[in-house]
């Protein structure tokens, strides 16, 4: 919770929006599992990375890489760590899907801290794009745990759009297989 509290303070200082995604969000929307880091996406101009790192340091966060500014400009990821050594991967939001996911983030109270969390539907989409075995397991957990409230039509439409726009073959078939495995209907 301290990492999330600190990230919330950082976003207030920088006056930017953010959301939690990745394994932590999968635990919230799906099934419990262990994770070794916190993944967040933040609105931040790549020209403000040095400022972001200064403010993060003032709040007790440290860059995990000596060349963090250069790395962030290339990869749009700022690898941080808390004073206790807990890793945080801070992704600088782009203008496309990440901005849309930011708009749809859901505030969740976690240990006295209000944290914007990627919606369950958008988490499914990000995990489907990543496509690793652990990601597919996370999707199954979300589908089972959120089956009554999940907007499957939204996910269907987004998958079609992403598959076409990014020329990613197989998203639709992987999605269909997950629906079949979990017994979820369109």
* 150-161 pLDDT per residue, tens: 999 999 999 999
CA distance 159 to 60: 39
CA distance 181 to 30: 15
What pTM, to 2 d.p., does this model score? 0.92
Handedness of CA 72, 94, 108, 136 (dihedral sign): negative
CA distance 166 to 158: 12
Angle in degrees, 0-180, between the axes of helices 22-29 and 133-145, rounded to the nearest 10? 30
Q: What share of the chain is helix, strand, coil (3-state, %, to 5)?
A: 55, 15, 30
Mean pLDDT of 65-88: 93
Reported as a pLDDT band with limits 50, 70 and 90, residue 31 is very high
CA distance 96 to 172: 20
pLDDT (tens digit per residue) in 86-116: 999 999 998 889 999 999 999 999 888 899 9
């Amino acid at each position: 919770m301290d990492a999330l509290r600190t990230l919330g303070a950082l976003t207030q200082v920088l006056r930017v929006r953010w959301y939690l995604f990745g394994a932590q969000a999968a635990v919230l929307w799906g099934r419990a599992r262990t994770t070794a880091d916190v993944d967040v996406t933040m609105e931040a101009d790549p020209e403000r990375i040095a400022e972001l790192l200064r403010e993060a340091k003032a709040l007790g966060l440290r860059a995990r890489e000596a060349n963090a500014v250069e790395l962030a400009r290339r990869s749009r990821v700022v690898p941080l760590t808390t004073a206790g050594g807990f890793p945080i991967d801070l992704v600088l939001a782009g203008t496309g899907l990440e901005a849309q996911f930011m708009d749809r983030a859901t505030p969740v109270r976690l240990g006295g801290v209000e944290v914007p969390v990627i919606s369950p539907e958008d988490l499914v989409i990000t995990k489907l794009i990543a496509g690793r075995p652990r990601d597919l397991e996370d999707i199954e957990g979300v589908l089972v745990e959120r089956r009554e409230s999940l907007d499957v039509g939204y996910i269907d439409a987004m998958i079609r759009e992403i598959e076409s726009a990014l020329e990613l073959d197989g998203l639709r078939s992987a999605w269909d297989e997950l629906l079949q495995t979990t017994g979820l209907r369109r």
